Amino acid sequence: MGIIRVCTSLIRSLWTLLNIACGLCTLLAGYGGYINPDKFALAQLANMTFPGWIVLTLILLAVNLFIRKKLAWLSVAVLVACIGPILTISPLNFTSRSLSTDDESRTFTLLTYNVYNFRDNQGVNPEWGNRTLSYILSTDADIVCLQESSNLNGVGKKAQRDSINSRYP
């Protein structure tokens, strides 16, 4: 009987430590972007794994609801503490705040686009030019990264090619 009690106590302690470690890693991953990378570069790497830590925290929450209800509160507390970063990475964009002028001066827009060599899969060739080039120009992105593009020779109208080449040399 004594050895079973010791094993049970050891398993409970390890499970508690696993939950605490997961919670701390989730917090580090969620708020690692605020840490200066010159001081602690690992925080930036942890920040990129944040979605995985959220999933692991949710799994631990579900398991803890069945085996250790008291530890479920730890997972809930971590999720509540990380609600800001969770909403930031959420594709649903619950908040739409406008940037201040200081923030706007420090931001840029990036467009990555697989242009499929500028072919139109729908077979639409409007008289005003290539739809892909029109979309790229309409985004007014600061940086454009094109995938599957060899060159612009013969693509769209000359005005579109000239605009692309002047805006994105």
Q: What is the pLDDT of residues 25-50, one digit of tens each?
A: 999 999 998 998 888 888 889 999 99
User: Rg (Cα) of the chain, in Å, rounded?
Assistant: 25
- Based on the domain organization, do 83 and 138 belong to the same domain? no
- Based on the domain organization, do 82 and 109 belong to the same domain? no
| Average of per-residue pLDDT across 58-72 | 94
CA-based torsion, 136, 102, 85, 80: positive or negative = negative
- Based on the domain organization, do 68 and 123 belong to the same domain? no
Domain count, the chain: 2
- Based on the domain organization, do 84 and 115 belong to the same domain? no
**Domain termination site, one of 89, 119, 144:** 89
Please give the residue range of the domain that contains residue 84.
Answer: 2-89
pLDDT in tens, 114-167: 888 877 777 666 667 788 888 888 988 999 898 888 777 777 788 888 888 899
- Based on the domain organization, do 137 and 85 belong to the same domain? no
- Based on the domain organization, do 42 and 70 belong to the same domain? yes
> What is the pTM assigned to this prediction?
0.59
- Based on the domain organization, do 25 and 80 belong to the same domain? yes
Contacts of 91 (CB under 8 A, 6+ apart): none
